[in-house]
Amino acid sequence: MKKLLFVIVAFLSISASAQNCEMAKYFDQEIKLPINDYLSLPTGYSFSDTLLNNLLNLNVRPFKRDISVTPRFLSKYRATPFNYSIYPSNEELTYIPKFRAIGSLILTPNCYCFLLRQDEVSFVSIEIWSVSREGVPLSHICVFSADRVIFASEELETPIVQSEITENGEILWDYNERGLHVKQVYKVNDFGIFELVSTKSEGEFEY
């Protein structure tokens, strides 16, 4: 009876935590590990920048760079329309950035981890947010980032950031800085922070 009571209490506690984290409602698809091809993952809910910033509390408290691992740091998401034209047609076009949920990841039992796709006119990035059970953003890492060949094109250049998430939840992170590869391993610690485990460099600057 005591064991059954413990199971019921634990279940109710987890359910309550899920209800407290509103962001979890939008990432209902669980992504199985390992992962090494992010672009093939289907996307789900499409966020407005206002909703996404509110869910992550970025309108009140801009995210600090020291808990964000990305070559393109942001303090807020912005879906500002971008007007452009492509030679030789010179037709006036408008691109609106997109922010789409991919799914949730189990990288630690202590917090949620959400995989998000960001499509900008000049690049695509895939990011993970770790969020507390109460919905407070804890840490952020970009696991894929590549420039588009031309504005709004589906064709991408060589990735600036490429990574693999192993079956045990380690993130094997590779930042290609013009031929110099910074290879790092990250793991979510007990506080929900993407903690650097090891680092090394390979190659050299190409220009």
Alpha helices of the chain — where are they, by DSSP H?
2-20, 49-55
Q: Which of 32, 63, 30, 38 is nearest to 145 (CA)?
A: 38
Q: What is the distance between the alpha carbons of residues 173 and 151, in angstroms, rounded to a whole number?
A: 26
> Residue holding tokens 């969020």?
131
How does the average pLDDT of the chain come out, rounded?
85
Which residues, 6+ apart, have CB-to-CB distance to 151 below 8 Å? 84, 86, 93, 95, 121, 122
Q: Which tokens in the block code for residue 67?
A: 């808990």
pLDDT of residue 67: 57
pLDDT in tens, 111-156: 999 999 999 999 999 999 999 988 888 999 999 999 999 999 999 9
pLDDT higher at 102 or 74 = 102
Q: Give yes or no for a contact between 181 and 173, defined as CB atoms under 8 angstroms apart.
A: no
Q: What φ, ψ does residue 5 adopt, rounded to 5°?
A: -65, -40
Least reliable range by pLDDT among 7-11, 61-65, 153-157, 176-180: 7-11
**DSSP code of 156?**
B
pTM of the model: 0.85
pLDDT of residue 108: 92
